[in-house]
Amino acid sequence: MLFPTWFTGTTKNLVDVVPGKLVDTKRFYLILVDAIGNGVSSSPSNSATQARLAFPRFGIRDMVESQRRMLTEVLGITHVRAVAGISMGGMQTIQWGVTHPELVDRIVPIVASPQLTSHDLLLWTAELNALESSIAYENGNYRGRPTIRVVQQIHALALTTPAYRAAETPREAFQPFLASFEDDTAFDWNDWHRQLEAMIAHDVGKPYGSLDAAAKRVKAKALFVVADQDHMVSPIPARAFAKQIGASARVAALDGRCGHLAPLCEAKKLSALVSAFAE
């Protein structure tokens, strides 16, 4: 089973939530893979010849192509039981099913989308505009990893739901909650920039003329896990795409108040869904 990373995530993050939890590593060989632009894979932050924003733009499809080449050309693997992923990892998962239908038996996109809605685009474009307009960003030529609060706050605002945030962060704890963003200095801003652009451009239907045409290419059995209260990646396109694929696809919903964080909040339910589907 192949499991790519989410937006701003690394395989180090996946180790905490996937092996032995979402995927039974006693039954399946598991490959965790760092997506392009995450600071571990080829990225603006680590390129010796195309550093910072000289690093070319890339898309979700480029991430998938790099993974296909890694599997086939380096590891000698020509077929996988399943591809699964969360958020941007789920976008890669859907792309796998569309672009390489002959290589995968099952796909499990989790809180992901085949194509962003206008609401999703508004969110991600706001983050990109906030980043580019920040004085601290210096058009990508900043030193170190400055705190860019407005980007982090926009991201946090959409990550969960009003009910979740109100319950988890009482008013008297609000200032410490804001201050916690200043300690979040792990991810490079140019990597953030290029991965944002990849998600904004994501549309599995574009090369084929429509989402319906793309859906007809999917041969794998598909389980779309959506979060009904997701404010970051709308569940609407995933539900529609599953219908377009037909009888081999189904949808399972996480219905708690955690929003886009539902895979973590409802981990036991998600694990049961993925385990049953992988059989």
- Say whether both 66 and 109 belong to one domain: yes
- Say whether both 171 and 217 belong to one domain: no
Task: Give the model's pLDDT for residue 183.
Answer: 66
- Say whether both 35 and 162 belong to one domain: no
The mean per-residue pLDDT over the stretch 109-124 comes to 98
Of the residues 144, 170, 194, the one at which a domain ends: 194
Q: 253 — phi, psi (to 5°)?
A: -110, 140
- Say whether both 105 and 126 belong to one domain: no
- Say whether both 84 and 210 belong to one domain: yes
**200 pLDDT higher than 90:** yes
The mean per-residue pLDDT over the stretch 76-84 comes to 96
Cβ–Cβ under 8 Å, residues 189 and 142: yes
- Say whether both 102 and 231 belong to one domain: yes
- Say whether both 14 and 103 belong to one domain: yes
Q: What is the reported pTM? A: 0.96
Of residues 180 and 223, more confidently modeled: 223
Task: Give the model's pLDDT for residue 181.
Answer: 76
Of the residues 194, 229, 257, the one at which a domain ends: 194
**279 pLDDT higher than 90:** no
Cβ–Cβ under 8 Å, residues 203 and 115: yes
Range 164-179 burial, b when 16+ CB lie within 10 A, else e: bbeeebeeeeeeeeee
- Say whether both 223 and 88 belong to one domain: yes
- Say whether both 57 and 110 belong to one domain: yes
- Say whether both 32 and 68 belong to one domain: yes
CATH of the domain at 85: 3.40.50.1820
Domain count across the chain: 2
Domain that holds residue 267: 2-117+202-278
- Say whether both 155 and 245 belong to one domain: no
- Say whether both 20 and 43 belong to one domain: yes
CB-based contacts of 23-29 (< 8 A; 24+ apart in sequence): 23/84, 23/274, 23/278, 24/275, 24/278, 27/278, 28/1, 28/81, 28/82, 28/278, 29/1
